[in-house]
């Protein structure tokens, strides 16, 4: 299979898996939805719908691409033999979903030999599907039309930049993150906390944010959104000279990225 044919197939599979999971989450949310489990702390929650959505996605992938590996937030982990690995967050923004807030998404990325080839973020309550293929640009399908090409906003002066971020679930980490946000706010237009890393990265791609940063993410939180942001013209990374990681994820247009990354490194945003 050629590189382009593989990308096309992986994109089609990712789009269908995300569409099915998004529909399940949107239409199947029970009125009495509660917490099924917790992870790193009592406020880091998993619902029965997170689990159901991951089961749907992994079952679909096993049917369509049985030789691929999978890494999922809710425990799915298979090695595979094809060189392709799916990185899946079945419900990014679980607390928003639990409370009935609209900012949540299904995030699915496909890696080949360790490089992300395809990213899809399905945001059902926005009625938007963000998608990217490495080297092929980033697009949004939604109410404003199918196949709208995404381009980052031109870099403003930092004091007019709107920056997105998120906070972890461990108390000490949240305290440090709040301190850093407090020190950043005077030098920017404002800071937003949406509650879904995948959506925040897509908002950078769509020009709805001038930048985004967060510490403590896992690969499934940012794999798809990182590719979508980059294909829309953003720069992404972690600490200076490093790739995005659990220490730090930064995404912004050229002109905002380097000063934002430098400030975050200076303030110690990469450690608790």
Dihedral of CA atoms 105, 110, 111, 112 in degrees, nearest 10, equals -170
- For 168, the token pair is 């972890």
Q: Which fold has domain 3-149?
A: Fructose-1,6-Bisphosphatase; Chain A, domain 1 (3.30.540)
Tell me what the mean pLDDT of segment 264-272 comes to: 96
Per DSSP, which regions of 39-181 are E strands?
A: 45-47, 69-72, 77-78, 84-92, 105-112, 115-123, 128-133, 138-142, 145-149, 162-165
Residue 146 has pLDDT above 90, yes or no: no
H/E run at residue 37: strand 35-38
**Per-residue pLDDT at 199 exceeds 90:** yes
Question: pLDDT: is 15 or 144 the higher one?
Answer: 15
The dihedral of CA 265, 266, 269, 272: what is its sign?
positive
Q: Is the pTM of this model over 0.85?
A: yes
Delimit the domains of the chain by residue range: 3-149, 158-267
What digits encode the pLDDT tens for the residues 243-252? 999 999 999 9
Mean pLDDT of 251-266: 98
* 22-43 pLDDT, tens digit each: 999 999 998 888 777 767 766 5
- pLDDT at residue 43 in the model: 55
pLDDT of residue 169: 87
Number of other residues whose CB lies within 10 A of the CB of residue 163: 25
CATH code of 158-267, in short, is 3.40.190.80
Predicted pLDDT at 182: 96
Name the token pair of 232. Answer: 């829309």
């Amino acid at each position: 299979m050629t590189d382009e044919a593989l990308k096309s197939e992986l994109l089609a599979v990712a789009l269908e898996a995300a569409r099915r999971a998004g529909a399940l989450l949107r239409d199947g949310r029970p009125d009495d939805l509660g917490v099924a489990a917790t992870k790193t702390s009592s406020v880091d929650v998993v619902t029965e719908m997170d689990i159901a959505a991951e089961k749907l996605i992994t079952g679909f992938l096993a049917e369509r691409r049985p030789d691929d590996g999978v890494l999922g937030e809710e425990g799915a982990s298979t090695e595979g033999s094809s060189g392709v690995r799916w990185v899946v967050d079945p419900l990014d923004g679980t607390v928003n979903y639990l409370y009935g807030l609209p900012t949540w998404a299904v995030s699915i990325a496909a890696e080949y030999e360790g490089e992300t080839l395809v990213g899809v973020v399905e945001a059902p309550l926005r009625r938007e599907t963000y998608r990217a293929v490495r080297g092929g640009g980033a697009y949004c399908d939604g109410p404003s039309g199918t196949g709208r090409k995404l381009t980052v906003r031109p870099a403003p002066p930092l004091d007019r930049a709107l920056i997105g971020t998120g906070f972890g679930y461990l108390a000490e980490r949240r305290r440090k993150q709040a301190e850093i946000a407090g020190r950043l706010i005077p030098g920017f237009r404002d800071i937003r906390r949406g509650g879904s890393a995948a959506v925040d990265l897509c908002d950078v791609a769509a020009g709805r944010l001038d930048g985004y940063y967060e510490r403590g993410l896992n690969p499934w939180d940012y794999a798809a959104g990182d590719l979508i942001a980059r294909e829309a013209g953003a720069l992404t990374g972690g600490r200076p000279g490093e790739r995005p990681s659990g220490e730090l994820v930064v995404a912004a247009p050229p002109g905002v990225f380097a000063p934002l990354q430098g400030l975050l490194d200076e303030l110690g945003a990469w450690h608790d």
